[in-house]
Amino acid sequence: MAGETPSTVSQLLEALERGRCSAEELVRDCLARIEAEDGAVNSFITVDAVGALTAARAADAERAAGRAGPLAGLPIAHKDIFCTDGLRTSCASRMLDNFVPPYSATAVERLAAAGAVTVGKTNMDEFAMGSSNETSYYGPCRNPWDLERVPGGSSGGSAAAVAAGLVPAATGTDTGGSIRQPAALCGITGIKPTYGRVSRLGMIAFASSLDQGGIMARSAEDCALLLGAMAGHDPADSTCAREPVPDYRAALAMDLGGLRIGLPRHWFDATLDSAIGERLHAALGELEARGARLVDVDLPNNHLSIPAYYILAPAEASTNLARYDGVRYGHRCADPADLEDLYTRSREEGFGAEVQRRILIGTYALSAGYYDAYYKKAQQTRRLIRQDYLDAFESVDVIAGPTAPGTAFRLGEKVDDPVTMYQEDSYTLGVNLAGLPALSVPVEPLDGLPVGLQLIGRHFEEARLLAVAHRYQQLTDWHLREPPAAGGAA
């Protein structure tokens, strides 16, 4: 494409529709950017140039024939946790380094059916376990705003690829904040839908009752366009909801008059960095000036989210990852002496330290002597956390707060301190435990680094969240700022 490439999905689709560029030109541009710039960022694990160009030419042919889908020719990337037919899907783990699925995830198929073109698979924390993208077998991904800092995790590769302008949008998954936290640290918009809104079929499981696929892009409008294609009931996934999917893009224009925004008191107390609090209040002030009303709410059990999550998620992980035994697929140790040696060494060699840690915690919590004391109590706590949100939504329409406790931290700063690392998800975990939708939207940066505002909605009210974020982005341009490495100004 001649000239400057538009940075948003809506701009790119308009350019394609008006014939100002072709899908093949867009894809070639993305591939050239990845080749030139991703060596420093390490946001991609696999790039599929041949497949992407083939799909782009097919999209151009469909558009010429008048059969173009709503996303025809749009280059995107997928987090390497989504199975892609004939294309390696590694989960950023040595365990699946050689795994090439014979089918694609439902979410991947739906985006492809809408015309989106997959250019590659993005880096992530191994098996989605982490908050910094430092547990990847393929090395850490780096934040385009400062290459010595983390992009967040586990969907850090997707967030960094979008922030660096390598692709206009990417899929991610969110088990405890893994879309929202990296979106906040990389200065983009990321939405985690209601649990069950997007099919989990073909999305490699970490914690089955918490995992949810979503979208990461520059703007709420971009997220609305892709989520509309990705969401909906899947009869092959028993956890996928039958709730109708609205036209998210059309809903961006919904009347937000009288909007009540809940502010959890303990999220804005002295424990929050005052500079981040100032930026969040300034963002909320923009909405308040346009008629929104700020209301204090309480989430009295939210402080229990971290201990509850780090019992439940590892318990489910220990069960889901039991299938990786060196027998059927994935890494297999060399010359095993017997079956026990095969199991032990294959798992020891195939899994990294964080994955092994969570498997051990989960197995312990599910063991006969400790199930009632840990796992059952965590489930009871989860119910209390969910009820707190439902009670709060009796008096407000959305809940707002920080996405992360700070800006992007330095590589290596927390990787050897799991407890400190787990605190990164303190504002996001409760949403997953309650199964609610939430998104992160960029606000004014702090010391040149992005800051995210988290918006949380009632079950299946993604449209309202996107509309609120869109209204804010009509008033500001923080979501369009590019990191210095991508040619923009901090």
CATH number of the domain within which 480 lies: 3.90.1300.10
Q: Is residue 30 pLDDT above 90, yes or no?
A: yes
pLDDT above 50 (res 105):
yes
Mean pLDDT, range 441-453, rounded to an integer: 98
Q: What is the DSSP letter of 82?
A: B
Report the pLDDT value the prediction gives residue 74, as an integer from 0 to 100: 98
Q: What is the mean pLDDT of the chain?
A: 96
CB 224 within 8 A of CB 251: yes
Q: Could you say which DSSP state residue 3 is in?
A: S
Q: In what order do the strands lie in the sheet with 438-446?
A: 44-47, 117-122, 75-79, 169-173, 213-217, 189-192, 438-446, 449-457, 398-402, 260-264, 293-297
Nearest to 426 by CA among 321, 333, 299: 299
316 exposed, middle or buried (CB, 10 Å; 0-12, 13-18, 19+)?
A: buried
110 assigned to some structural domain? yes
pLDDT band at 7 (very low <50, low <70, confident <90, very high): confident
- Alpha helices per DSSP H over 393-450: 418-422, 429-434
Distance between CA 96 and CA 99 in Å, rounded?
Answer: 5
Here the tokens at position 320 are 């889901």
Residue 230 has pLDDT above 50, yes or no: yes
CA dist., res. 46 & res. 127, Å (int): 16
Q: Is the pLDDT of residue 59 over 70?
A: yes
Q: Which amino acid is at 348?
A: E
Average pLDDT (442-451) is: 98
Joined together, the tokens standing for residue 274 give: 């005052």
**pLDDT (average), residues 444-473:** 98
What DSSP designation does 95 have? G
User: What Cα–Cα distance (Å) separates residue 325 from each residue in 103, 318, 320, 331?
Assistant: 21, 12, 11, 8
According to the model, what pLDDT value does residue 490 have? 42
pLDDT at residue 488, as a whole number: 47
Q: What is the 3-state secondary structure (H, E, C) of 340-370?
A: HHHHHHHHHHHCCHHHHHHHHHHHHHHCCCC
Q: Which two tokens stand for residue 297?
A: 């709410």
Work out how many domains the chain is built from and give that number.
Answer: 1
The percent of residues above 90 in pLDDT, for the chain, comes to: 96
Domain carrying residue 17: 9-258+439-486
User: Counting every residue, how long is the chain?
Assistant: 490
8 A C-beta contact, residue 399 and residue 455: yes
pLDDT at 1: 39
Q: Looking at the predicted structure, is the pLDDT value of residue 402 above 90? A: yes
Residue with token string 């040619």: 487
Residue 189 has pLDDT above 70, yes or no: yes
What's the mean pLDDT in 366-383? 96
The answer to whether residue 327 is domain-embedded is no
Residues recognised as catalytic: 79, 154, 178
Give φ, ψ of 82 to 5 degrees: -90, 125
- Tokens representing 247 are 């036209």
Structure tokens at 156: 């850090």
> Is 443's pLDDT higher than 60?
yes
pLDDT over 50 at 5, yes or no: no
Neighbouring CB atoms inside 10 A of 97's CB total 16
User: pLDDT tens digits for 259-315?
Assistant: 999 999 999 988 899 999 999 999 999 999 999 999 999 999 999 999 999 999 999
β-bridge partners, 443: 451
Euclidean distance between CA atoms 90 and 138, whole angstroms: 10
- Non-local (6+) Cβ contacts of 233 within 8 A are 199, 240, 241, 242, 243
Confidence of residue 485 (pLDDT cuts 50, 70, 90): low
The answer to whether position 83 is within a domain reads: yes
Dist. CA 224–CA 274, nearest whole Å: 32
Instruction: Decide: 118 and 77 in contact? Cβ < 8 Å.
Output: yes
| CA separation for the pair 350, 469 (Å, rounded) | 41
Output the pLDDT for position 383. Answer: 98
Name 169's bridge partners: 217
**Helix-strand-coil split of the chain, %, nearest 5:** 45, 15, 45
Within a domain: 294: no
Name the residue among 85, 136, 184 with its Cα closest to residue 351: 136
pLDDT at residue 486, as a whole number: 54
Cβ-count burial 145-160 (b if 16+ within 10 Å, e if not): bbeebbbbbbbbbbbb
